[in-house]
Amino acid sequence: MPVVRQRQDTTKKNAATRASTPIENLHELVAIHLVRTDQRYTAGRQAVIELLASFGRPMSISDISGAIPDVPRSSAYRHLSDLERAGVVRRIATSDEFARFELAEDLTHHHHHLLCSLCGKVIDVTPVPPLNVR
């Protein structure tokens, strides 16, 4: 009997661990930021946040509206504006006429950007810790 009981406890523990994934934690943080600016965390905003979290580099509004066809471009732009005002999304100005958007660093990690002056592509670069010199 004790083995069965231990197995049940482990199952409950694993279920509790699965309920708290990184994307769920991200959604909780974004919801808190939005409440502070009297905004709701709608399904469209959740879709934008999930896309930005999964894409791996800053995205243009064209990238975003192409990846989420259920959210009209005008709505995506309003979502980005509201999320930026709440401190959840960061706008990156580039050399071309299109801004790029990414999650704010306090929701992800510190990084820099490389910008191609020919095509306008922006990629994230995470700095390595300085080497210890003896």
The answer to whether position 118 is within a domain reads no
- Alpha helix (H) residue ranges in 1-134: 2-18, 22-36, 43-55, 61-67, 73-85
Number of domains in the chain: 1
Question: 59 near 101, Cβ under 8 Å?
Answer: yes
CATH number at residue 58: 1.10.10.10
Q: Strand, coil or helix: what is 102?
A: strand
The answer to whether position 52 is within a domain reads yes
The answer to whether position 120 is within a domain reads no
Two tokens, residue 108: 């992800």
pLDDT at position 56 is: 74
Q: Does the model's pTM come out above 0.75? A: no
The answer to whether position 38 is within a domain reads yes
The answer to whether position 123 is within a domain reads no
The answer to whether position 103 is within a domain reads yes
The answer to whether position 122 is within a domain reads no
Instruction: Please give the DSSP secondary-structure letter assigned to residue 115.
Output: E
**Residue of 41, 44, 34, 91 lying closest to 65 (CA atoms):** 44
By residue range, what is the domain housing residue 104?
2-108
pLDDT at position 72 is: 92
> Chain-wide mean pLDDT for the chain?
75
Question: 64 near 76, Cβ under 8 Å?
Answer: yes
**pLDDT tens digits for range 3-29:** 443 434 444 443 343 345 577 888 898
pLDDT tens, residue order, the chain (134 aa) = 444 434 344 444 433 433 455 778 888 989 998 999 999 999 999 999 999 988 877 888 888 999 999 999 999 999 999 999 998 898 887 666 778 888 887 765 555 666 666 666 666 666 666 644 45
The answer to whether position 90 is within a domain reads yes
CB-count burial class (<10 Å; 0-12, 13-18, 19+) for 104: middle
pLDDT at position 109 is: 53
pLDDT at position 80 is: 94
